[in-house]
Each structure stands twice: as C-alpha cells, then as structure tokens.
Amino acid sequence: MSVSSSPASLTAAERQTVRELAARRKPGYTMPGELYGNPLVYRAELEQIWRRGWLFVGHTCEIPTAGDYFTFDLDKDSLIVIRNDDGAVNALWNVCRHRGTLMCSESQGRVGRLVCPYHQWAYARDGALVSCRGMHDEIDKSQLGLLKAHCRELEGMIFVSLADEPLDFDVAAEAIAPLLRPQGFNRAKVAKTVDYMVAANWKIVWENNRECYHCNVNHPQYIKANFDHYNADDTSHRIQAKIEQAVAHSEEKWSSAGLAVSHRRTGMTEFPGMGPHGWFAANRTPLVEGFVSETLDGRQVAPLMGDYADPDVGTLRIRTLPNMWNHSSCDHGVSTRLLPMGIDRTAVRVTWLVHQDAVEGKDYKLEDIMPFWQMTSEQDWELCVAAQKGVSSSHYVPGPFSTYKEYNVDAFVTWCLAHLSSSGEPGA
C-alpha cells in the first residue's frame, strides 16, 4: 500500500520561492543566511532531501535478536526498525492501522508482538495484524498490517527511505560493500553511544565535516593521526610526495591483501552537486606513520575487527548524505548520525563499535577507544554552534570558499541546492 510520503507538501508557489532563494547563492561562496534561517527552506529540505534520500538509522548489531527494535523519528514521522523472526530487518511505520496511535513510544526494546496501547490490536514482528479483539468479523486483517518503509542492510549498517519510490540503493551498496565488508560490522557490538543536541542547522554540521581547513588549529588529536592537515598549509612538493608515497605504498599492500581501497563513484566530487548518485563515498587511506588506529597515541586498543589480520589497514572513511559518516580503524569503528530537529538544531548520535567478542575492561577500555572521536566531535560541535550564531547575524555576508581546501564544502552546498531546486520528482 502506498501513501503520500510527504503529507504537508510545499505548494508550487512555495517551491518557486525556494528555487529563487537557492539561486541567490553565488558559486564558490557560502550560502546566503536565508538558506539557513528561512523555515520554508527547512521544510523544502525535509521534503526534497530527507524524505527522498536514504537515511542511516543504526547498526544491525543494535538489534541482534528477533523482536529487538529501536525507533527512528524524523520530523513528525516515526519508524520501528525491528528484526523479525526470519532474521530480516524491517522498518515499520509506527502508526496503528486502527485509529493511528503511535505503537511504540520507547526508543528501544524487544517484543514478541507489537501491541497497540490504545485498543490492543496486535501485530507480528513483521507488521502483520494478528489480532484485533472486539472488531466485527468482516475485518480483513490481511489488509491492515503496519505499513513498511523501504529498509536496506549494508554490511551491518541499516538504511531506510521514507520515499514511496526511493533512490537507487544498489549503486551505493555495490560501491560501499567491498570497502565495508572486512570491517565486520555484522560481527560487531556497540561499545558506547553518545547523543548530542547541537545548536546548529544540519547543513552547517556537514559543511564543517567536509573540510579540514579548520583541523590544524582545532583538532590537535585528529591531525596527529591523519594526513589531511598536510595539504592544508603546506603545498610543497616534499609534503605532497610524502603523502603520495604513503598512499601508493599502502594501496599496494592492501590490494595484495585483498582489501578494497576506493570505488570509482566518489559521489559528490565526481558528480558535483548533481544526480541521484551524488550521495555517497567511501575510501581507505593511510594513517600517519606509527599510527594503526585513530586513538590518541595511535596504538591498537581493541581486538582486530572483521577480516583484518594486520592492524595496518589505515582509516576507512564512508559518508552517505544527508546523515552519516563513519571513520573506522583496525580495532574500532565510529558512526556519526545526524537528524535535523528544527532549523537550528541537529541531533547527533556518535556510536563506537568493536568486535562482538571483545570484553570491556579486558580486551578494551572506553577511555582508550573513545577520546579521539569524542574530542574531535565535540570540538566540531562548538565550531558549528559558533558558525550558526554567525550566519544568523544581521551582518552575515556570504564569504568565499578556498578552492584548495573547501572544494568539498562547495560540492556539498551545490548538492543541497540542486536538490532544493529540483522539480520535486523522485530521483530528479
């Protein structure tokens, strides 16, 4: 059964207004303030980006057993992401088929059946209506199962789409799976989750993520482990050659060990701003010499994950727009999930994963695996909050992006605006 995925659609006139606002952005420059601050733009983003794209919701290891579920809320909608009896993960709309009541108000749990709190209609774990006591016999239960949203598993990560006709997921799965598979997220467990409410528009959080121009000064821990900062302020051949050498050496080593290093569809950069495939990217890149993990001193601090036989696997980086990035090392992975909570609020969940058999306190300590990304993330949130305050000022004027250091931010902005300007047709 199909229902409109966007109950409060923008009118044609409102869409036109959004297109006009999007057109005001000067190429190579940051967005005008209205694109961060106008509620109409925010509604258009929900409709044309968030409700159309694939959203990362969580990891399969968060719901290992039949009946395990967590809820996922976007705007006024809620989904129940649940493992059913045959092991598959489904995303059910959290809306009773009797009178529409929210079925699950807990954020996670385990159920035999999903029972509505109002009149106790009961649904199987796959959403089928199994009992509705007190109803007349003519009721056709087969027509009254919980509605399903599109849901896909990708090597231990779960994605949903709220669209009736979602974008092509296979193209992303084919590109990302070979890189992600050896990380073993389907044989992992959550070591820790931290939730943040960041007082910034979701686009500001992405813009911050898409460059490392700010890293040298703001991320002392991150730059010790990663090469990103080198090309920031030193364009000398010596440094470039050093990076290229490290990359070539590592790629050769990984390739001969059967580890994928990149895929050809690099999302935003190859398809700058355009088309349905511009929403994902993944690559494996070396850490600086002496570092085998994104930890404060670069040491391995937990058992190797997945298929890794050697800690020297560099850092695996994956991102899917509009709401996920993941950085993984040989011994742990870190997923960051964004959700827009209003025009100037973004809920961010950071999740640390380790091998499923690793025992806390014995095989790893949270104080070893967490600080690197906790500090880097929190440094970023502070920058985002300051950026939000600035772009909300009456005297914010769009500024120029560095073509050396911020081309990926420019690509992200272009991607957003292309979606805001599109016709509103799925996949357009």
Nearer to ligand FES, 100 or 427 (CB): 100
What are the start-end ranges of the H helices in 296-391? 366-369, 371-391
Nearer to ligand FES, 19 or 141 (CB): 141
Nearer to Fe ion, 48 or 208 (CB): 208
**DSSP designation for 11:** P
406 makes contact, choosing from ligand FES, ligand 3BY, Fe ion, none, with CB < 5 to 8 Å by partner type, with none
What are the start-end ranges of the H helices in 24-116? 34-37, 39-45
d(CA 111, CA 65): 10
Instruction: Tell me if 18 sits within 8 A of 10, measured CB to CB.
Output: yes
Q: Among 376, 317, 384, 378, which Cα is nearest to 346's?
A: 384
Tokens 């700058």 locate to 272
Residue 219 CB, shortest distance to Fe ion, in Å, is: 5
Residue-by-residue DSSP string for 153-171: EETTEEEEE-SSSPPP-HH
Binding mask 115-134 for ligand 3BY (x = CB under 6 A): --------------------
Segment near ligand 3BY (CB under 6 A); pick from 47-55, 188-196, 214-222, 347-355: 214-222
Asked if 391 is part of the footprint of ligand FES (rule: CB under 6 A), the reply reads no
d(CA 57, CA 337): 7
Asked if 101 is part of the footprint of ligand FES (rule: CB under 6 A), the reply reads yes
Site for ligand FES in 105-164 (CB under 6 A): 116, 118-119, 121
SS3 sequence, 382-424?
Answer: HHHHHHHHHHCCCCCCCCECCCCCCHHHHHHHHHHHHHHHCCC
Segment near Fe ion (CB under 5 A); pick from 27-35, 124-132, 349-357, 377-385: 377-385
98 makes contact, choosing from Fe ion, ligand FES, ligand 3BY, none, with CB < 5 to 8 Å by partner type, with ligand FES
**DSSP designation for 60:** G
Segment near Fe ion (CB under 5 A); pick from 93-101, 184-192, 286-294, 373-381: 373-381
Overall residue count recorded for the chain in this entry: 428
Residue 51 CB, shortest distance to ligand 3BY, in Å, is: 26
- Judged by CB under 5 A, how many residues of this single chain contact Fe ion? 1
Site for ligand 3BY in 377-396 (CB under 6 A): 380
Peptide bond into 322 cis (omega under 30): yes
Q: Among 335, 353, 221, which Cα is nearest to 287's?
A: 221
Segment near ligand 3BY (CB under 6 A); pick from 50-58, 87-95, 107-115, 212-220: 212-220
For 245, residues 6+ apart whose C-beta sits below 8 A from its C-beta are: none
Instruction: Tell me if 35 sits within 8 A of 44, measured CB to CB.
Output: no
Nearer to ligand 3BY, 94 or 323 (CB): 323
17 makes contact, choosing from ligand FES, Fe ion, ligand 3BY, none, with CB < 5 to 8 Å by partner type, with none
Asked if 376 is part of the footprint of ligand 3BY (rule: CB under 6 A), the reply reads yes
**DSSP designation for 46:** I
222 makes contact, choosing from ligand 3BY, ligand FES, Fe ion, none, with CB < 5 to 8 Å by partner type, with ligand 3BY
The residue ranges that bind ligand FES (CB under 6 A) are 96, 98-99, 101, 116, 118-119, 121
The residue ranges that bind Fe ion (CB under 5 A) are 380
